[in-house]
Homo-oligomer: A and B are copies of this chain.
């Protein structure tokens, strides 16, 4: 069976590279279109990424020989779609928020579905913010989005910020089981790769912690509420709970975001054992659909006292699983735990690819 040809916008940036690396052996998708800034445009990908390629292994000859397109020129992708040489694009654009917003809309309007990593459209009411195991049903707004905007083939679907992946899914598993999570306090210890490349200067982080990441706490507090929200009249209504407070810090770790979480339930409170049981048993559509990049178990529980740890747990199950540990009562709220996920795989390109697999399996892309 021929693979589906896909494109990457922002292909030379760090997340763009991660997409290329993860798609290298993908059973369904094949990178056939790469676009980046005008500066990179017109050169073979290998030349455009020279000196910036961060992965251990090269991008592969096939991708290296692709000519980089100017991401601002929507017609190149649109023409490729018409020719049948492109099905959809992953957006890893690293531009001004308003520019990304407009550009992603232009791609969608031109018939090119956009599965985006960017923050630009996360608060657009008819754009779903998908965690494939949590809210796959939000995909149902896509036809309404297309209709409202007069788009036929194109649409926009996005994924949330990397910082929330370590706690949104386990919290959802409890909500889904019928427990109300009223309040959530989280302190994250985030890897430097979350800031891209060059990103965090080494002089800022060696023997140090930086207890601030611009915009991160707001995203960590608000995005879960859209993901946990209900679809009404073709738009996604933000959930009222849980109220979230996030302290986000940068630590000297290359990959893997760690989250220390306290939850307050009400009125029903699950026991620690019940929580563990629910998490161990949790499974979503990616698992039932047997999607290629779906982790076998979305939530892995470690019983050792000192886990999860970024270096030991970030790569679990294709770096797509969330690892949970230190599940214990909270003296102030009800439950405490530590969650960990790989921020550039599960939290970025891997999460985007899983969303694309889901949308493909559900018939939104072809």
Chain A: how many interface residues by the 8 Å CB criterion? Answer: 58
Determine whether the beta carbon of B326 is less than 8 Å from that of A211: yes
Determine whether the beta carbon of A211 is less than 8 Å from that of B306: yes
Determine whether the beta carbon of B185 is less than 8 Å from that of A315: no
A203 at the interface (CB under 8 A from B): yes
Determine whether the beta carbon of A197 is less than 8 Å from that of B203: yes
Which of A69-77, A111-119, A243-251, A266-274 has 4 or more CB atoms under 8 Å from chain B?
A243-251
Determine whether the beta carbon of B312 is less than 8 Å from that of A187: no
**Copies per complex of this chain:** 4
Interface code A304-335, partner B: CB below 8 Å = 1, 0 otherwise? Answer: 01111111110110000000011000111100
A198 nearest CB across to chain B (Å): 4
Given contacts A54-B203, A209-B310, 14 further A-B contacts (CB under 8 A): A184-B332, A189-B251, A193-B203, A197-B201, A197-B203, A206-B253, A207-B252, A209-B253, A211-B258, A211-B309, A211-B326, A245-B332, A247-B262, A251-B251
Q: How many Å lie between the Cα of A221 and that of B24 in the bound state?
A: 43
Determine whether the beta carbon of B206 is less than 8 Å from that of A316: no
Closest chain B residue to A245 by CB distance? B332
Chain B residues lying within 8 Å of A202, measured Cβ to Cβ, are 192, 199-202, 204-206, 252
Which residue in B200, B307, B313, B332 is a CB contact (below 8 Å) of A183? B332
A295 nearest CB across to chain B (Å): 14
A342 at the interface (CB under 8 A from B): no
A269 nearest CB across to chain B (Å): 15
A338 at the interface (CB under 8 A from B): yes
Which residue in B56, B207, B306 is a CB contact (below 8 Å) of A212? B306
Chain B residues lying within 8 Å of A183, measured Cβ to Cβ, are 332
A210 at the interface (CB under 8 A from B): yes
Which residue in B193, B211, B310 is a CB contact (below 8 Å) of A325? B211
Q: Which of A272-322 contact B (CB under 8 A)?
A: 305-313, 315-316
A124 at the interface (CB under 8 A from B): no
A120 nearest CB across to chain B (Å): 23
Q: Which of A173-205 contact B (CB under 8 A)?
A: 183-185, 187, 189, 192-193, 197-205
A336 at the interface (CB under 8 A from B): yes
Which residue in B197, B254, B305 is a CB contact (below 8 Å) of A206? B254
Q: How many Å lie between the Cα of A262 and that of B260 in the bound state?
A: 13
Determine whether the beta carbon of A247 is less than 8 Å from that of B187: yes
A96 nearest CB across to chain B (Å): 19
Determine whether the beta carbon of B245 is less than 8 Å from that of A330: yes
Determine whether the beta carbon of B204 is less than 8 Å from that of A206: no
